Amino acid sequence: MAVYFAGFAVALILSLALTPLVRRLAFAIGAIDKPNHRKVHTRIMPRMGGLAIYVAFAAGLLLVLPFAPEGLLNDYDMNLMRAMLVGGTLIVLIGALDDRFELSAKVKLAGQLVAAGIVVLGFGVRINLLNIPFGETMQPIADWISIPLTIFWIVGVTNAINLIDGLDGLASGVSGIAIGTIAIMAALMGFEPIILMSVLLLGGILGFLVFNFHPAKIFMGDSGSLFLGFSLAMLSMLAFKQVTIVSFITPLLIIGVPLSDTFFAIVRRMVNKKPIFAPDKGHLHHCLRELGFSHRKTVLIIYGIAGFFGACAIVQAVFVQSAAANWVAFAVVCVLVFGLQIGAELIGLVDKTRRPVINFLRRAINGWNAQSSRTK
């Protein structure tokens, strides 16, 4: 237990010390973010803050590992950590280059695919078991499904965090809540490598958040959002009994905010006949700002939503060993999907005028009231 507290403290201190240095570096090399019509900030801001989080995590891991109790981490666990470090390093380099030179979307995607491929093919990290809905046992899946499924998961989650990085402290805070959730779930399962990596990341994020919360002194840039997305993809996949999906919904719940925002962004762009990768101002944080919430209140509201998703994931994990696990997951999915759709229609996340579910419910209620009046 002491190694986890020590790792958290080391990463926190390193992040607090490194972030101001990275801020100076960003200004010196021109890794800056200029205001435009899509962005909320009104002055030139340094980015590349993700370097501080990454170095705090990587250095913290290397510093505390020699003090880990003998037998705490086996060869399998060390392989997972090496995969995390190698893949994360490549992702951070891609993000840092983008922070400075603004790489094209195709180049960034190619780099992400390479990083995911190295993790999957080079280190053998993959989703190799699948929980069949309402089944009793975990079912093995073939490599031709496992490999592309794992790569898709890693690349998808990596970009989902990048999409919500639109307000001071938003992406870092939401990532921190998700990683904290993973740490709790890993502790419940006794999966030591995930606990250690999660607390190190959490320390790095919290140290950076001191400088990133509104009003921010530095942005984490793609070096941060891509690294945190990659880390969440890896940890949310690995935290469930050594690279399995205990329940399909659990990892989705952990990163429910960025995934749902990404889903609605894709639907919104399809409805409005715009390219899927075209940027817009229709994300969750934009909609909340349009409703009149301040910068800080908007971020805190989204933190609350992320915390709710995390709590649901933990509840799901508690039931995971019981016979009712799949039924609990099914009920959670139905309630959350319904709630997400209603919320999206209320704030105009897809379209400001179309509210199909709300209109259907209104007609149903009016019809029920009319029927009741005739009956009386």
Residues 37-72: tens digit of each pLDDT:
656 656 789 999 999 999 999 999 999 988 877 666
pLDDT of residue 48: 93
Which residue has better confidence, 239 or 185?
Answer: 185
**Residue 162 annotated in ligand binding:** yes
Is there a contact between 282 and 268 (Cβ–Cβ < 8 Å)? yes
Quick one: pLDDT at residue 226? 95
pLDDT of residue 248: 56
Tell me the whole-structure pTM to 2 decimals: 0.86
Residue 246 has pLDDT above 50, yes or no: no
| pLDDT band per the 50, 70, 90 thresholds, residue 146 | confident
- pLDDT value at residue 363: 85
pLDDT score for 180: 92
List beta partners, residue 315: none
**Average pLDDT in the chain:** 83
Give 222's pLDDT tier (boundaries 50, 70, 90).
Answer: very high
pLDDT at 133 over 60: no
Percent of the chain with pLDDT over 90: 39
For the four alpha carbons of 310, 315, 320 and 325, in that order, the dihedral sign comes to negative
Contacts of 177 (CB under 8 A, 6+ apart): 303, 306, 307, 310
Give the mean pLDDT of 350-368: 81
- Specify whether the CB–CB gap between 48 and 208 falls below 8 A: no
User: What's the Cα-to-Cα distance from 155 to each of 27, 74, 230, rounded to whole Å?
Assistant: 29, 28, 7
Q: Say whether pLDDT at 284 is over 80.
A: yes
Q: What is the pLDDT of residue 230?
A: 95
Q: Do the beta carbons of residue 186 and residue 194 sit within 8 Å? A: yes
At residue 283, the pLDDT reads 79
Look at the block and give the residue holding tokens 């019809």: 367
